Amino acid sequence: MNRNKRFAIIIILVTNAIIISFLESFIPVPIPVPGIKLGLGNIITMIAIAFLGLKDVLFIVVVRCFVVAILTRGVMMLAFSLTGGLLSALVMWLLYKKLSRFFSIKGVSIVGAIVHNTTQITVASFILGQVVVFYYLPILLISAVVTGLITGSIGELAINEVSKKDIFAKTAEPDVNEEEQIPFKSEEDEDLPRAEIKTGMIERREE
């Protein structure tokens, strides 16, 4: 796939991530604890992780955090969203690419949510110069598991649907030397007779 098409796909993902995150800011959270949110923009991050290289993923996260912070919470909140978003995206990318045998897409999403919330509260403690904010950590961890499971389930469905359309063929950068991978499909898929089904992933094997 040429660079222009790949760039267009990245722009589409960035735009969708911004729109989803912006609309999410209007959804009331039942638990009045700072830092708790659904994290629906993470769905786009997971799609990018599944099909694109690490640099593309981080670019999408950075642009989304900048734009959404300016439109909703202000530039002062950028430090929280950017650090949490970048670190969680990096961890999710590593888990998905290197440890997919042990982590399903839902598991990757949950870990990402935990990393995101933990990073944000650590940054808040550093900026405020107070450790009292860590009293919120247990609640944030519980919410991370719940929201991570929700976004992970949606992300898994989205990745499976996108993979059927083969939109991202040959777009990923060679970030790591690994076997050719394609997103999960069912065992009944007749187009993959030599594929070994794994949890959340299929790896082609040579005969």
The CATH number that applies at residue 121 is 1.10.1760.20
b/e 70-104 (16+ beta carbons within 10 angstroms → b):
eeeeeeeeebbbbbbbbbbbbbbbbbbbeebeebb
Residue 96 forms part of a structural domain: yes
- For 36, the domain range is 3-174
| Local structure of 25: helix, strand or coil | coil
Residue 202 forms part of a structural domain: no
Please, which pLDDT band fits residue 27 given cuts at 50, 70 and 90?
A: confident
Residue 170 forms part of a structural domain: yes
Domain count, the chain: 1
Residue 193 forms part of a structural domain: no
Residue 172 has pLDDT above 60, yes or no: no
Q: Which of 14-28, 41-55, 70-84 has the lowest mean pLDDT?
A: 70-84
- On average, the pLDDT of the chain sits at 81
Mean pLDDT confidence for 123-142: 87
Mean pLDDT confidence for 41-63: 94
Mean pLDDT confidence for 141-157: 94
Which H or E element spans position 157?
Answer: helix 137-165
Mean pLDDT confidence for 33-55: 88
Strands (E), the chain: 181-183, 195-198, 201-204
Percent of the chain topping pLDDT 90: 45
Residue 145 forms part of a structural domain: yes
Mean pLDDT confidence for 187-191: 48
b/e 147-165 (16+ beta carbons within 10 angstroms → b):
bbebbbebbbebbbeebee
Residue 189 forms part of a structural domain: no
Residue 204 forms part of a structural domain: no
- Sheet with 195-198: strands ordered across: 181-183, 201-204, 195-198
